[in-house]
């Protein structure tokens, strides 16, 4: 048990999926895992452990933003020895070629600031995904007749952004989408020698203003969860 995770020793699997929304963790666990059991509900941040095709998996909510994710990932790694951590979440598309419901596999994650930034000082650390997970996720997506977008994303520390000039430069430099957690996840994985990947579903589009209604988002995220699970155990 840690400050933010009430799970007992042995309750957390070595493979952890990390949706930001705790209720999405509940949905994913009940939809994809066999015999899921609630292992954490501290502060309402739900976590479940069950099995997928005989493999033990934990699906733990991580909250919104890099500071929140950093807390959970630090504790999952340091106190529960999590080895593979895969973010499953939504993102906003930044390129015209990326459509609603498309899947993005984040090869790299650029950011202005993360909770780890003070550690690097003048160094602009380039956090990236684990290659074995990225390769396996791409194969899993293609097996579902899904062509994923693979490349760089942007992890923002603000939801209500007021930097159109920055957005313009990211679009110009081919950034596929924006979300709020992956850069810190990749940084922590590098620090502790663990595997990490972000598998994202496009829920809205910064160029067109399109957005999925909330009731359609959940139904559109099934492919993303399946890709993440297949990649983890490839």
- Binding-site residues for phosphate: 20, 24, 43, 87-90
Cβ-Cβ contacts under 8 Å for 145 (sequence gap 6 or more): none
Q: Taken in order 89, 94, 99, 102, is the CA torsion positive or negative?
A: negative
User: Which residues pair with residue 28 across a beta bridge?
Assistant: none
Q: Which residues are catalytic?
A: 204
Cβ-Cβ contacts under 8 Å for 32 (sequence gap 6 or more): 52, 225, 226, 229
Residue where the block lists tokens 């009731």: 215
Whether the Cβ atoms of residue 100 and residue 210 lie closer than 8 Å to each other: yes
């Amino acid at each position: 048990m840690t400050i933010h995770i009430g799970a007992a020793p042995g309750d957390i699997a070595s493979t952890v999926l990390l949706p930001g929304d705790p209720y999405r963790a509940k949905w994913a666990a009940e939809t994809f895992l066999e015999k899921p059991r609630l292992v954490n509900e501290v502060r309402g941040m739900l976590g479940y452990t069950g099995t997928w095709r005989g493999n033990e998996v934990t699906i733990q909510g991580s909250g919104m933003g890099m500071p929140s994710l950093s807390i959970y990932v630090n504790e999952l790694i340091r106190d529960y020895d999590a080895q593979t951590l895969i973010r499953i979440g939504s993102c906003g598309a930044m390129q015209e070629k990326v459509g609603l419901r498309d899947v993005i596999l984040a090869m790299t994650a650029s950011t202005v600031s993360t909770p780890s930034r003070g550690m690097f000082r003048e160094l602009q650390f380039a956090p990236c995904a684990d290659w074995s997970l990225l390769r396996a996720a791409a194969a899993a997506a293609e097996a579902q007749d899904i062509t994923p977008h693979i490349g760089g994303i942007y992890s923002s520390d603000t939801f209500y952004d007021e930097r159109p000039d920055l957005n313009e430069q990211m679009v110009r430099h081919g950034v596929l989408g924006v979300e709020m957690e992956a850069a810190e996840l990749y940084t922590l994985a590098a620090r502790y020698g663990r595997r990490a990947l972000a598998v994202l579903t496009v829920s809205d589009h910064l160029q067109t203003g399109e957005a999925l209604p909330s009731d359609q988002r959940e139904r559109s995220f099934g492919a993303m969860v399946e890709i993440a699970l297949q990649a983890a155990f490839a």
